[in-house]
């Protein structure tokens, strides 16, 4: 079988996804969606109260896996934002004295009304 994922003899088996997308004239967004929608079966243990709360919110036709995935994505997004905010704050704090002096200088040029 020959494909970008099962290479022919002489072809690199570690071809980058971008190269495969270009070679096959695929829409990059479709490939990203396909790759991100691939699932891995796993098992987790949750407290009974969390399961009850989740089931109550989902109703009869609820999908626990989708619910947990959405919650985990939201949590990881929030954690990533916290990390970015902490880095930004560290940069601001490192330059606080210079920035405060500059702000005071700018304010000194304001005319009172």
Which among 78, 76, 68 is positioned nearest to 46, based on CA atoms? 68
Domain boundaries, the chain: 1-38, 42-108
Could you tell me which residues come within 8 angstroms of residue 35 by beta carbon, excluding any fewer than 6 positions away?
Answer: 17
Contact (Cβ atoms closer than 8 angstroms) between residue 5 and residue 12 = no
**CA dihedral sign of residues 16, 19, 24, 25:** positive
Question: Angle CA(23)–CA(29)–CA(69) in degrees, nearest 5?
Answer: 130
Answer yes or no: pTM beyond 0.75.
no
pLDDT tens by residue, 27-58 = 666 666 565 667 888 899 999 999 999 999 99
pLDDT tens by residue, 71-101 = 999 999 999 999 999 999 999 999 999 999 9
CA distance 68 to 78: 15
């Amino acid at each position: 079988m020959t494909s970008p994922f099962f290479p022919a003899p002489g072809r690199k088996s570690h071809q980058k996804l971008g190269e495969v997308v270009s070679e096959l004239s695929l829409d990059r967004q479709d490939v990203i969606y396909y790759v991100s929608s691939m699932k891995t079966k796993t098992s987790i243990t949750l407290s009974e109260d969390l399961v009850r709360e989740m089931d109550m919110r989902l109703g009869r036709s609820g999908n626990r896996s989708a619910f947990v995935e959405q919650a985990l994505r939201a949590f990881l997004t929030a954690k990533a934002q916290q990390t970015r905010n902490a880095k930004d704050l560290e940069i601001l704090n490192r330059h606080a004295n210079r920035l405060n002096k500059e702000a005071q200088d700018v304010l000194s040029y304001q005319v009172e009304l």
